[in-house]
Structure 1
Amino acid sequence: MHWLTRISIANRWLTFLIVAMIIGGSIFAVLQLKMELIPDIEFPMTTVMTIYPGASPEEVMEQVTVPVEGAISGMGGLREIVSTSVENMSFVYAEFEYGTNMKKVNAAIEDRLRAVSFPMGVPSVVPQTGEENPAVYPLNMSIMPLVVLSLSGDKPPNEISAIAAEKVVPELEKVEGVFSVSLEGGEEKVLVVPDAAEMNARGIPMSQLVAAISSGQYSSLEEISNADVNGTTQVGDVADIGIGPAPGTAITRTNGQNSVGIMVMKSPEANTVTVANAVVDKAAEIQATLQENGDDVQLVAVLDQSDFIERSIRELTREAVVGGALAVLVILLFLMTIRGSLVVAISIPLSILVGFLVMWAWGITINILTLSGMAIAVGRIVDDSIVVLEVIYRRLRQGQGFREAAIGGAREVAVPITSATLATIAIFLPLAFVSGIVGELFVPFALTITFALLASLVVSLMVVPPLSGMLVPKKLRGEPVDSWYQRLYTPALKWALAHRFLTVAIAAVLFFGGWALVPMIGTSFMPSMTEKIVMVDIETPLGTDPETTSHVAAQVEEVIGSQTDSKVDLYYTTVGTSSSFIGGFTAMLGGSGSNQATIEILLDADANLEEESQRLRDAVSSLDADAKITVSPMESMLGEMDPSTIRLHVLGSDYDNAVKPAAEELVAELQDVKGLGEVEADIAVTVRKPSPTIHFLPDGMDQTQLEQEMYVMMAGVGTGVELDSRELYVTGVMQTASNQAQLEDLRLFGGLPVPVRLGYFASVDIVEQPTHISRIDEQRSATVTADVTEKDVGAVTRDVQEKIDAFSAEGVEIEVGGVAEEMEKTFRDMGMAIIIAIVIAFAIVVASFRSIISPLIIMVSLPLASIGALLGLLVSGHPIGASALMGMLMLVGIVLTNAIVLVALVEQLRGKGMSTYDALVEAGRTRLRPILMTALTTMIALVPLAIGLGEGVLLAAELAAVVIGGLFSSTLLTLLVVPVLYSLTARFRRAAPARSD
């Protein structure tokens, strides 16, 4: 590619004009790039949610879940089906292989569901929302709220909800990029609670009570109580009336005050940071307007995805800039000339800007992975420019004119730097073989580095030579005396060449000693990335009503609010869950019900997450409450993509006699495993529920109307009538029946002119029903989970695996999931990728040198790099994880550069007639400075990343530690071991042909 140098020098000003145009285009591209937390990934996951009003978990499973599973099973690329059947609802979650076209899959699932015959009680459309039933929900980042706002105040929840609906939501919906705005909590109803005993004594069917209430207009609770039902009975005679939260909705509070949660979702194509900032700005405007209008409420942000994204990107940018500055300083110390250093320094922003331009053209976003790639590339992108500049300097000192020095120097180094850069880039090709989330995350990372390195290669051959012509003196003094490092290195090299076998033996001992460090380093999957948020999970006894759970949560809130010297900025409480998809999906994954509450505590930016968690944990432990209260830092920002939880799935056909006892026994077995937090199993507890069995239909009874009445008797119904903006809601009468006799004595019409006792044609048993039924791949299941609390996740998972191997239970099988499964898959795939990368790099070097022996010697630098890579992880305290393995993969390309440029010069000198020994000594002395410069600039540029303390830097930190350590050991040993091995194999090679400059 030295022709680029010839053209650029001949057309210097045209070259600079092209560069200026590229810079302008790149700046435009940077301003247009979307900013996200992680790369745009199409998750191969989808969920089918089906509403089945009035159905028990068993009925939901048998009549809805199983048919839906059957419709999905057998589809191409399907990995796993997980289902949860709860009262009234079915969730079926399907995971496919990465790379599956999910648009086609979701369309195919919808087509298959239309062919499924569901029971009559399953509506085709959800009455409250108008959505199709069943509904298919693709799982992606856009289903999560971009911003969650809280509107709170010293007002009744329904008033706050009305203000939110009328004055906040419409304004937020106008923000460009906002897809939808929904409310959580604050919905109150006038609850009419029928008394089963009184209803039976007066012979009043529930449908008659509902009809009586629905026909009136009311201005007070007393008027509702006095409403006539049948001429002799008033509503208050057979029902209690009060105000409370709507069934199936959450109770929310902010800082202990009544509040409404406002969830803002963005359009999939919108820029996360831009939209989030616009929403927060709009919220500030709305708050000011509300205050002007006398609405005594506060609108604040509880969750803002852009905060973490902007902070992470700011941290990564800072580390990259500092690293780049340090790299330039290293160059200055070596060259001892500001002009020459400026030439190389210019190549850094220029290469990065071109990289961003290509990212924009490819539709790649700015995120913590791509920006980490750019930060990692900062040290490497100066390598080619250093080599080109150094050879120009050397030739100028030899008395050559600038044009001759530039073109001749480019011809000398073009092949080695091109092959080295291509080898560095080519090692990313095997990422195509890395499956799962790791492959999806690191492909944009690899592309970003690829774009930057290709840009740096072109810049080194096209921009550095003409720029040198402007900034570097046209004449330099003759050959300088050897530098101090050359005076140290040359005798060391001669000693190594005189003691070749001892040198090789020392290198071998260091290699095996490095790998002996692995047990001390430990293994993990991915570093945790957490916000400054503490979560308090509250669980009261099963069956506890929302009001009681809310009271327990209020006690915890009081403790949080009374803390002195705390770093608490805001706390947001949610009791129960909504009937929305997000709420339901949360419940499916073990989320909240009426007996559960969560308090999200936002800490100040300077708070220590672990210390504050422990402080709050100690404070809450003194509470005397009939509830399980857990205080812990918020889970990783990457959620399921950054697991720190081991999941063991116990599968079998007999739940009660095999699966359940096996899961309970497994929980007991894992209690003594060091490094595991609390071990739990999602074993379904049972509750007592009425279960009607219809024996026959009386003459004239309509089955559809009977099913509707039965549903209302069990679940309740809204009347459509309002009192002070609160709908009147009649709860299910079966909920207040105390025994079987009362249940069977309930009346209903079922389309008949007179009411009939339910017990006349049906029996109603009070049975123990599970709260939920879980299945995996169409088998009953129970999942045992435990958080890994140790840094060495691999050691903990091995201990768990030993327990599983020794565990024996008939009728079940145990599948390992969570972090253990992801680690095994990632280590296997990345190991294969590294092997393939080595083969690819070897092929490129063979093609460049047109021989086998020299490339084999060059490849020796790879095992030498592993010594420092492992030592770097040990010193930095990072385990071997996905990021570290990515660093190992990168090292395959990076460390070859030094060996390639060294051996290439040896071949050239031998081609000119030098002996092997003299060629090795001269090449080592000549290439020492550029090798040290490129290695040190790369290592020093990565130091800020390696020691970075911010959350956004964590993914790049262990990768940087690997590259720094690996490059350190490979550079020192390559300068000695590669010449020794070249000398040992000299007898097997012919003299290299001479190459003209």
Structure 2
Amino acid sequence: ALLGSMVAIIVIMLFLRNIRMTAISLVSIPMSLLIAMIALKLTDVSLNILTLGALTVAIGRVIDDSIVVIENIYRRLNRADEKLTGDALIVSATKEVFVPIMSSTFVTIVVFAPLAFVTGSVGQMFRPFAYAVTFSLLASLLISITIVPVLGSIFFRKGLKKKSQKQLGVVGTHYQKVLNWSLNHKWLVILLSTLLLIGSIFLGAMKIGTSFISTGEDKFMALTYTAKPGETEENVLKSADQVQKYLQKNPHVKNIQYSVGGQSPIDPTGSTNNMALMVEYDSDTPHFEEEPEKVLNDIEKYHHKGEWKQLDMGTGGTTNALEVQVTGPSTQAIESTVKMIEKSMKDVKGLTNVKSDLTETYEEYQIKVNPDQASEYGVTASQLAMLLNQNVPDTTVSEVKAQKQTYDVVVKHDKSTDWTQQKMENTQIPTPLGSNVTLDDIATIEKTKTPNKLVKEGGDYTSTVSAQISGDDVGAISQNVMQKLKHIETPSHVKTSLGGTNEDMQAAFSQLMIAMVAAVITVYLVLVLTFKGALAPFTILFSLPYIAIGVVIALILTGETLSVPSMIGVLMLIGIVVTNAIVFIDRVTQNEKQGMPMKEALLEAGGTRIRPILMTAIATIGALIPLLFGQDSSILISKGLAATVIGGLMSSTILTLIVVPVIYEILFTIKRKLIK
């Protein structure tokens, strides 16, 4: 966050070339973040990886409103023909840009509103992110119309040295020439920009993979330990210490962090005495995808009371697994299909640790009671089951509560008993007649193997073939598995379906796509209220498609996949990109109200607004650069989000300055012809 602020400072200084102006605009960064953190505290939203990441992302945006205000004050102070002076000038300059900065801020905020209706882990993860960004932007708007004008009045009470009326500068002058050419070659501009957009979409479809949560080059392993009811915190800490010492022997382990109870970076719910353990590995750790399974197997030797599980950093609660469910009327009916699928999945590149419920078995004794022989001794099958159940070790018979803890009451039996088939057959069974009979006198015993897990739903049995995904492109791996499933011949009564991470990813993408559509509609409604018309806001929306060009190029160059963070980045861009067009079109409408011809109004708006538009865009990009190249970036606020925002903002800003004015002139020319 600090590095991002420094980059933003340098960008503003290069544009304004005035230390006092730069200092005034930068006041919004610490004050906005402070107000945002207070608001998060009041709304019981904790500071964690997501909210801190959101504040980092917001740095580039919280100075936008202040930049627009201070740049307009600076421009008015620089004008040789400016009639107002002192506080009157500052108030007038602030009012002049109040509507565009207010609508820009609200537009950036409302794109997050649909996240309130996104369910599952994505909604839970990114709602705090949305809160943090929203509070930051509201604070920045408040500061830009209160603190910034006051500081401007203090620092520039005597004004600036008057300069010539030609205040566009090199950038403004050259941009007006480009814009004038574009307005004279409208259909060529539209054709070239459309071809560029279509080409980038096709390129993205061929080159960019998909994943749920991209972790980039960072190698992290997260484990959770669910304490057994009644297990003390002291005992859990001992277990953690054992695992930590074991992990420290691995030369590729860089950092180990664990927390017991309360909140943790991974488990924000904070269950009592449960533990979350995060391990960071070297980026060049060999066979890292096999590490979690190896660690879980190795720590079994400690015989901890609770249960250890791997936690995927992306989903927040499930392993990064691909699953194929096989459903049929019986285990025998689905067994052959399960084995064929298991064999096929082992050949898929990017899948490791392929296994199924049916292949993971344990031994059991099946006791089949002979009704005739049992009735001779007055013993029923249910009585026999109750008698044999007493031989099962560690039976929990009740629970007691003490000091806010729940403890199991366990009846322990002799664990030294090694149950063999012969011992089972010779087990003495008391009868109502007062005599004993051995178990093999009234029943037959068979030693069999049974699946470790067997699910029965709607009268059918379901077995799951699972595998860990070690590759980045979850979508491509899932497609590969689906192709192999099509070539496996299954009985008519056996059905297969793909689940796991792929299912989570598809659900998340679908919901986020709906959220984006809802965001665009909401943004349009806000713009209609702002401009008091429908056509100007419709023109502004033409800046959105060109996001795709930069996003595709950025993801390809950084090697990132289209993931949930990338989609959140696109959602953010809907609000960010529109703000640039708002600042431009608002100036155009002001000029037209003052009697300027349309083309002259567009050229004047371009020359006047080019500097604040470029300043805000470059400041936002500059603030995100440390996140893009940082080695310690978080797992969820990954460089995928930063790459998406940077790429999309670059392409859309450039094309907004060229295409949107062209579209504006075309649409309003058609409107005026229709009215006539």
What's the counterpart of residue 300 of structure 2?
none
Structure 1 CA distance for aligned equivalents of residues 254 and 517 of structure 2:
50
- The counterpart of 2:654, out of the listed 942, 964, 972, is 972
Cα distance change, pair 479–362 in 1 and its aligned pair in 2 (3 A): same
Q: For 1:363 and 1:525, how far apart are their aligned partners in 2?
A: 28
In structure 2, how many angstroms separate the alpha carbons of the residues matched to 1:659 and 1:615?
Answer: 28
* Residues 702, 751 of structure 1: 8 Å contact kept: no
Partner residue, 1:458: 142
Per the TM alignment, residue 938 of structure 1 is displaced from its structure 2 partner at its CA by 0.6
Equivalent residue number for residue 659 of structure 1: 334
The equivalences for 1:383-402 within 5 A come to: 383-398=64-79, 399=82, 400-402=84-86
Counterpart residue number, 1:711: 389
Listed as ranges, the matches of 1:413-812 within 5 Å are 413-479=97-163, 481-518=167-204, 519-528=206-215, 566-567=251-252, 607-608=282-283, 610-611=285-286, 613=288, 636-638=312-314, 641=317, 643-656=319-332, 658-683=333-358, 684-685=360-361, 687=363, 689=365, 691=367, 693=369, 695=371, 696=374, 709-713=387-391, 715=393, 730-731=414-415, 735-738=419-422, 743-749=424-430, 754-760=435-441, 762-775=442-455, 777-778=457-458, 779-810=460-491, 811-812=493-494
The answer for unaligned runs of 5 or more in structure 1 is 1-319, 536-556, 572-599, 621-632, 719-726, 992-997
Distance 1:871 1:473, change over 3 A: farther
Cα drift, residue 852 of structure 1: 2.2
Shift of 1:796: 1.4
Whether the 8 Å CA contact 2:314–2:635 is kept in 1: the answer is no
| Contact 1:715–1:732, Cα closer than 8 Å, also in 2 | no
Q: Work out the number of aligned pairs and report it.
A: 595
Distance 1:606 1:753, change over 3 A: closer
Distance change (3 Å), C-alpha of 1:952 and 1:752: farther
The aligned residue for residue 354 of structure 1 is 35
Conservation of the 8 A alpha-carbon contact between 1:713 and 1:734: no
Q: Does the CA contact (< 8 Å) of 1:883 and 1:955 recur in 2? A: yes
Which residue does 2:267 correspond to in 1? Answer: none
- Deviation, structure 1 residue 909: 0.9
CA distances 1:751-778 after superposition (whole Å, capped 9, x unpaired)? 7755433344x21322414143411534
Match of 1:345 in 2: 26
Equivalent in the alignment of 2:632? 950
Change (3 A) 1:637 1:500: closer
What one-letter code is carried by the residue in structure 1 that aligns with 2:356? A
Distance 1:634 1:654, change over 3 A: closer
3-state DSSP class of the match of 1:952? coil
**Which residue of structure 2 lines up, in the alignment, with residue 52 of structure 1?**
none
* Alignment RMSD: 3.5
Q: Tell me the CA shift for residue 417 of structure 1.
A: 1.1
* 2:268 alignment partner in structure 1: none
Which residue number corresponds to residue 120 of structure 1? none
Distance 1:900 1:562 in 2: 55
Query: Structure 1 pair 933/446, CA: closer, same or farther in 2 (3 Å)?
Result: same
CA shift, 1:931, in A, is: 0.5
- TM-superposed CA distance for 1:745, in Å, is 3.7
Sort the Cα spacing of 1:561 and 1:681 in 2 relative to 1 into closer, same or farther, 3 A: closer
Q: Which residue of 2 aligns with 1:549?
A: none
Q: 1:355 & 1:389 partners in 2: Cα distance?
A: 22
Asked if 1 retains the 8 angstrom alpha-carbon contact of 2:379 and 2:431, the reply is yes
Matched with 2:581 is 899
Match of 1:721 in 2: none
Cα separation, 2, equivalents of 1:980 and 1:645: 49
The residue type paired with residue 479 of structure 2 is R
Q: Distance in 2 between matches of 1:394 and 1:442?
A: 39
Q: Is the 8 A contact 2:60 2:623 kept in 1?
A: yes
> What displacement does 1:487 show?
3.3
CA distance in 1, matches of 2:57, 2:121: 21
Aligned ranges 1:238-257 → 2 under 5 Å: none
Report if aligned partners of 2:211, 2:472 keep a CA contact under 8 Å in 1: yes
Q: 1:951 to 1:377 in 2, by over 3 A?
A: closer
Q: Per-residue deviation at 1:670?
A: 2.8
Alpha-carbon offset, residue 333 of structure 1: 1.2
Query: How far does the alpha carbon of each residue in 1:240-278 deviate from its partner, in whole angstroms, 9 at most, with x for none?
Result: xxxxxxxxxxxxxxxxxxxxxxxxxxxxxxxxxxxxxxx
State the shift of 1:706 in Å: 5.9
CA distance in 1, matches of 2:315, 2:661: 49
The amino acid of 1:527's aligned partner reads: S
Q: 1:735 to 1:509 in 2, by over 3 A?
A: same
| Residues 933-948 of structure 1: pairs in structure 2 closer than 5 A | 933-948=615-630
Q: CA deviation at 1:570?
A: 11
1:925 matched to which residue of 2?
A: 607
Distance 2:200 2:104 in 1: 26
Distance 1:786 1:891 in 2: 35
Q: Which residue of 2 aligns with 1:313?
A: none
Residues of 1 paired with 2:247 and 2:614: CA distance? 58
The separation in 2 between residues aligned to 1:703 and 1:929, in whole angstroms, is: 88
2:531 paired residue number: 849
Identify if the C-alpha distance between structure 1 residues 616 and 844 changes in structure 2 by more than 3 Å, giving closer, same or farther: closer
- Aligned partners of 2:357 and 2:453 also within 8 Å: no
Alpha-carbon distance between aligned partners in 2 of 1:699 and 1:934, rounded to the nearest angstrom: 91
**Retained in 2: the 8 A contact 1:734–1:743?**
no
Pair 1:866-2:544 in alignment: no
Describe the superposition over 1:228-250 as per-residue Cα deviations: whole angstroms up to 9, x where unpaired: xxxxxxxxxxxxxxxxxxxxxxx
Taking structure 2 as the reference length, what is the TM-score of the superposition? 0.80
Q: Provide the C-alpha distance between the structure 1 equivalents of 2:153 and 2:67, rounded to a whole number of angstroms.
A: 15
Read off the aligned partner of 2:567 and give its amino acid letter.
L
Shift of 1:359: 1.1
CA deviations 1:282-317 (Å, max 9, x no partner) are xxxxxxxxxxxxxxxxxxxxxxxxxxxxxxxxxxxx
Partner of 1:21: none
Deviation of residue 397 (structure 1)? 2.1
Distance 1:351 1:776, change over 3 A: farther
Helix, strand or coil: the match of 2:134? helix
1:635 Cα deviation (Å)? 5.6
1:643 Cα deviation from its structure 2 partner? 4.8
Rounded Cα–Cα distance in structure 2 between residues aligned with 1:643 and 1:737: 38
- Who wins on radius of gyration, i.e. which is larger? 1
Do the aligned partners of residues 714 and 771 (structure 1) sit closer, same or farther apart at CA in structure 2, a change above 3 Å counting?
A: farther
**Per-residue deviation at 1:983?**
2.2
Aligned residue in 2 for 1:909: 591
Tell me by how many angstroms 1:334 deviates.
Answer: 1.0
Q: Does 1:817 align with 2:523?
A: no
Give the distance between the partners of 2:663 and 2:378, measured in 1 at CA: 99
Secondary structure of the 2:562 match is coil
Q: Kindly indicate whether residue 87 of structure 2 is the aligned counterpart of residue 409 of structure 1.
A: no
Tell me the CA shift for residue 707 of structure 1. Answer: 5.1
Change (3 A) 1:889 1:613: closer
* Structure-2 change in CA distance of 1:386 and 1:732 (3 Å): same
Task: Please give the alpha-carbon distance, in whole angstroms, between the structure 2 residues aligned to 1:337 and 1:436.
Answer: 49
Q: Distance in 2 between matches of 1:756 and 1:606?
A: 61
Q: Percent identity?
A: 32
Distance change (3 Å), C-alpha of 1:753 and 1:855: same
- Report how far residue 903 of structure 1 moved: 0.7
Question: d(CA) in 2 for partners of 1:516 and 1:659?
Answer: 41
Quick one: which amino acid aligns to residue 526 of structure 1?
A: I
The CA deviation string for residues 630-678 of structure 1, in whole angstroms up to 9 with x for no partner, is: xxx976345664653211111122111x211111111223333333334
- 1:298-377 matched pairs, under 5 angstroms: 320-377=1-58
